[in-house]
A and B are shown apart, each in its own frame.
Chain A
Amino acid sequence: MVIQTDLAKGAKGIKVRRTGRPRGSRDSTGYRIFTWLNAMALITLCLIMLYPFVTVLAQSFSSPGAIKAGQVNVLPVDFNINSYVAVMNNGMFWRNYGNTVLYTVVATIIAMTLTTAFAYVLSKEHLRGRKILIGIAVFTMFFNGGIVPNYVLISSLGMKNTMWALVIPGAISVFNLLVMKSFFENLPKDLEEAAQIDGLSWFGIFGRIVLPLSKAVIATMVLFYSVAFWNDWFAAFLYLDKSELFPVTLFLRNLIAGASSAASEGAAASGSSAAALSANIQSVTMILTVIPILCIYPFVQRFFVSGIMLGSVKG
């Protein structure tokens, strides 16, 4: 079927090919077999990709007993929402969830402000010292201070046990910076020139002309940054001691670490009910942590391919 429709299109010469592969006219039997095998392989891949999500979802609705007995695969066994109720009633979970929302919003605002301003400056080809500025940023991609000096720095700045340790150090991702820079470079120059003639300053051009034109790239970068900050756990792990400041990822990490250390202390083979219970709670926490990502994913996806291509081809 697939092949025939393509043949028809090819014959009429309607099809505009983007991949450059000439289509249709001489498909051998071997190639047709390949097409089907290929489709099968890709479907299998998708099932493998999705399986962990499905299992976690099934476990979150199953009873600890069924998980312990190893009965849960794709569908929930002993369907119930007890674990959801238990997690929902956990004050610390909600507190940490709220922290994650707060950290993500604040960090994204800081990151966007710095990245957008810097990317705009770097996109001005006439600017003196532009290459030096780009070099300063790009060098940090290949060499970094490392975890110990960073830790010492954050500690001595007094940022430990504050949200600033989580929201400030990630403010400029050089990759995002380069993507934005190449987007700004591709904006039509005439608009800016017209604004210049009308007497707008650089600040005015940036605020009134460039930013409104850049909604697509700004949306992409907001999504990239917010996903990264939402998912981060390590900064919190390093710099926070008080559990009421934790983001939800660290809450989850402690659940998982607690379960695995309990499991390694001899309970592994027997599969204690405590471990099964925590598998249940873990699944619920994972689902609740992932939901915002899954909600914005369709929107991220719309943007990121073009965003990445921009960054890679021109960056």
Chain B
Amino acid sequence: MTTTNTVQVNQPATKTDGLPPSQSSTHGGHDGPARSRRTSKNAGRRPLRKSLQRDWQLYALAIVPLIFLAIFRYAPMLGNVIAFRRFRPGGNIFGDEWVGLRYVSMFINDPTFWHVFSNTVILGALTLIVCFPLPILLALLLNEVRKKAFKRLVQSISYLPHFLSIVIIVGMVMQLLSVQGTANQIITAFGGDAIPFLQRAEWFRAIYVGSEVWQTVGWGTILYLAALTTVDSSLYEAAEIDGANRWSQIWHVTLPGIRPTMMTLLILNIGTFLNVGFEKVLLLYNPLTYSTADVISTYLYRVGLVSNNLSYAAAIGLFQALIGLVMVLSANFISRRVVGASLW
């Protein structure tokens, strides 16, 4: 038993002594916790085998989650090799033979791909431009509310859409914008003609972004409100003594105070830029609105899972995921250099 001689002084000696040397398992469990105290006093490194003996129960707890991650998160990442291999349904999930960049050059030469790519960029950019600043604005407005009960009520109501299924959201959007829905009732009340919004490609982007705002704006304020509570109050007093009015206080104290939070969320938003609400687009669009609504993910869904061209769709999906990764990394890098805030 190699562990016995390293047991700390505060470990009751009787416990370790009483253990038969062969029961390293029980033993590890008993003196394992002592290690946390030890590391705080003495940061020395132990041999791997000893750590394993001490903390084997912790590692055991991690085994199932790790197997889960390996199978359901990392295996699909490796599964992307079918973008470079011919995949046959029912065959090897990692594909059967190498075909090189065949599928990559297929989508690069595919005009539909570039069409959906530009749709994705436009929709993603609109969503980012509209949905990123609004929670900040709402948080600033909420922060000026002095009646706690009113503030809480506004928050409760504005968070609510976040907890709804996307199916419900789309159902509501469709009812509001249907020919007999509220939007058209207002239009006809002012003497206009009813517009079949959901069948018009030119309306899709507005509908998408609008419903996105409705769904996310309240929830988006949570982190900003949390950040606002941490702004140092002496800064406001100093600003007031320097003659700053409330607007310049917001500009010079409040906004810089929540800048790290803003940057963090911006980086995260940029990383999901190309993933624009796949499920929502899938539920909202129809062949009449494909020209503006079709995005990379819906296209690869149709190509891959509906038309069963899995390798081709995997190539598109890999491209999309890589762009996302590169964008997160570069946004993080730029943010760290320019404003000193970063995710890691």
Residue numbers of A with Cβ under 8 A of B are: 2-3, 6, 17-23, 26, 28, 31, 34-35, 38-39, 41-42, 45-46, 48-53, 55-56, 59, 67-70, 73, 113-115, 117-118, 120-121, 124-128, 133, 136-137, 140, 142-153, 156, 168-169, 171-172, 189, 192-193, 195-197, 199-206, 227, 230-234, 238, 249-250, 252-253, 256-257, 259-261, 263-264, 268-269, 271, 275-276, 279, 282-283, 286, 289-290, 293, 297, 300-301, 304-305, 308-309, 312-313
Contacts and interface: CB of A to CB of B under 8 A. Distances in A.
B329 to A, nearest CB: 8
Interface in B272-292: 278-279, 283, 286-288
A299 to B, nearest CB: 12
A149 B172 contact: no
B120 to A, nearest CB: 14
Contact of A17 (B11, B77, B233): B233
A283 B175 contact: yes
B68 A172 contact: yes
Nearest to B233: A20
Q: Which of B72, B199, B232, B236 has most chain A Cβ within 10 Å?
A: B72
Contact of B61 (A3, A22, A51, A118): A118
A128 B157 contact: no
Interface string B136-149: 00100111111100
Nearest to A24: B146
B295 to A, nearest CB: 13
B175 A144 contact: no
B100 interface: no
Given A146-B314, A172-B69, A279-B175, 20 more contacts: A20-B232, A38-B145, A69-B180, A118-B61, A126-B39, A128-B51, A144-B73, A146-B318, A147-B297, A148-B310, A148-B314, A168-B68, A172-B68, A193-B33, A197-B12, A202-B57, A259-B174, A290-B168, A301-B156, A305-B222
Interface string B48-88: 10011001011101101110110111111111101000010
B48 A42 contact: no
B240 A22 contact: yes
A49 B167 CA distance: 17
A31 B250 CA distance: 13
B305 interface: yes
B160 interface: yes
9 contacts: A113-B64, A152-B76, A153-B79, A202-B57, A205-B33, A238-B305, A250-B167, A253-B283, A293-B163
Contacts, number: 340
A202 B305 contact: no
A19 to B, nearest CB: 6
A293 B321 CA distance: 32
Interface size class of chain B, counting residues whose CB lies under 8 Å from the partner chain: 35 or more
Contact of A20 (B65, B79, B235, B261): B235
Contacts of A263: 178-179, 196, 198-199
Interface stretch (B110-118, B181-189, B334-342): B181-189
Given A49-B157, A124-B58, A149-B82, A286 B77 contact: no
Contact of B138 (A45, A153, A276): A45
Given A206-B61, A231-B164, A149 B79 contact: yes
Contacts of A201: 26, 29-30, 32, 57
Contact of B199 (A31, A73, A230, A268): A268
Contacts of B68: 114, 168, 171-172
Contacts of A304: 222
Contacts of A3: 146
